[in-house]
Amino acid sequence: MFNDKDVMETISMIRDNNLDIRTNTMGISLLDCADTDADKACTKIYDKICRLAGNLVKTADSVGEKYGIPIVNKRVSVTPVSMLAGISGGDPVKYAKALDRAAHEIGIDFIGGYSALVQKGFSAGDRELIDSIPRALAETDLVCSSVNIGSTKAGINMDAVKLMGQKVREASELTADRQCIGAAKLVVFCNAVEDNPFMAGAFHGVGEADHVLSVGVSGPGVVRSVLAAMPDDAPLHEVAETIKKTAFKITRVGQLVGSEVASILGTQFGIVDLSLAPTPAIGDSVAHILEEIGLEQCGAHGTTAALAMLNDAVKKGGVMASSSVGGLSGAFIPVSEDDGMIAAARAGTLSIEKLEAMTAVCSVGLDMIVIPGDTTAEVISAIIADEAAIGMVNSKTTAVRVIPAIGLKEGEELNFGGLLGFGPVMKLRSQSPAKMINRGGRIPAPLQSLKN
Partner 1 sequence: MEKQEKAILTVVGKNEIGILAKVATAVAEAHASIVQVSQIVMDEFFTMNMHIEVSSMNCSIHQLEENIKAALPGVEVHVMHENIFTSMHSI
Nearest-approach distance from CB 332 to partner 1, in angstroms: 22
Nearest-approach distance from CB 323 to partner 1, in angstroms: 12
Work out the burial of residue 364: count CB atoms within 10 Å of its CB; fewer than 13 is exposed, 13-18 middle, 19 or more buried: buried
In the bound state with partner 1, the residue whose beta carbon lies nearer, of 13 and 102, is: 13
Q: Does residue 11 bind partner 1 (CB under 8 A)? A: yes
In the bound state with partner 1, the residue whose beta carbon lies nearer, of 5 and 451, is: 5
Query: Residues 270 to 329: which contact partner 1 by CB under 8 A?
Result: 320
Whether the link from the prior residue into 200 is cis, omega within 30° of 0, is yes
Nearest-approach distance from CB 226 to partner 1, in angstroms: 13
Which stretch in 64-72, 74-82, 148-156, 236-244 sits in contact with partner 1 by CB under 8 A?
Answer: 64-72
Q: What's the rounded Cα separation, in Å, for the pair 209 and 29? A: 7
Q: Does residue 7 bind partner 1 (CB under 8 A)? A: yes
**Binding residue for partner 1 (CB under 8 A) from 256, 274, 382, 385?**
256
In the bound state with partner 1, the residue whose beta carbon lies nearer, of 147 and 222, is: 222
In the bound state with partner 1, the residue whose beta carbon lies nearer, of 69 and 369, is: 69
**Binding residue for partner 1 (CB under 8 A) from 36, 40, 47, 68?**
68
Q: Does residue 6 bind partner 1 (CB under 8 A)? A: yes
DSSP letter for each residue of 154-179: TEEEHHHHHHHHHHHHHHHHHTGGGT
Q: What are the backbone dihedrals phi and psi of residue 356, each rounded to the nearest 5 degrees, phi first?
A: -65, -40
Compute CA distances 357 → 84, 350, 354, whole Å: 37, 11, 5
The conformational region for residue 380 under phi > 0 = left, psi -120 to 50 = alpha, else beta, is alpha
**Binding residue for partner 1 (CB under 8 A) from 187, 244, 252, 351?**
252
Q: What's the rounded Cα separation, in Å, for the pair 437 and 433? A: 6
H/E stretch holding 273 reads: strand 268-273
In the bound state with partner 1, the residue whose beta carbon lies nearer, of 216 and 391, is: 216
Which stretch in 6-14, 21-29, 46-54, 360-368 sits in contact with partner 1 by CB under 8 A?
Answer: 6-14
Q: Is the dihedral of CA 312, 320, 192, 446 positive or negative?
A: positive
**Binding residue for partner 1 (CB under 8 A) from 17, 151, 255, 381?**
255
Q: Does residue 2 bind partner 1 (CB under 8 A)? A: yes
Please name the residues in contact with 395: beta carbons below 8 A apart, sequence gap of 6 or more: 152, 191, 448
Q: What's the rounded Cα separation, in Å, for the pair 441 and 163? A: 12
**Binding residue for partner 1 (CB under 8 A) from 57, 67, 159, 354?**
67
Nearest-approach distance from CB 328 to partner 1, in angstroms: 22
Query: Residues 371 to 410: which contact partner 1 by CB under 8 A?
Result: none
**Binding residue for partner 1 (CB under 8 A) from 18, 60, 69, 94?**
69
In the bound state with partner 1, the residue whose beta carbon lies nearer, of 119 and 322, is: 322
**Binding residue for partner 1 (CB under 8 A) from 249, 315, 396, 401?**
249
Alpha carbon 245 to its chain centroid, in Å, reads 24
Amino acid at 182: G
Which stretch in 4-12, 108-116, 288-296, 375-383 sits in contact with partner 1 by CB under 8 A?
Answer: 4-12
Cβ–Cβ under 8 Å, residues 174 and 138: yes
In the bound state with partner 1, the residue whose beta carbon lies nearer, of 68 and 89, is: 68
Cβ–Cβ under 8 Å, residues 195 and 208: yes
Nearest-approach distance from CB 338 to partner 1, in angstroms: 25
In the bound state with partner 1, the residue whose beta carbon lies nearer, of 69 and 118, is: 69
DSSP letter for each residue of 27-79: EE--GGG--SSHHHHHHHHHHHHHHHHTTHHHHHHHHHHHHT--EEEEEEEES
In the bound state with partner 1, the residue whose beta carbon lies nearer, of 47 and 65, is: 65
Helices (H) and strands (E) in the chain, counts: 16, 14
Buried/exposed code over 254-271 (b: 16+ C-beta within 10 A; e: otherwise): bbbbbbbbbeebebbbbb
> Binding residues for partner 1, per CB under 8 A?
1-2, 4, 6-8, 10-11, 14-15, 65-69, 249, 252-253, 255-256, 320
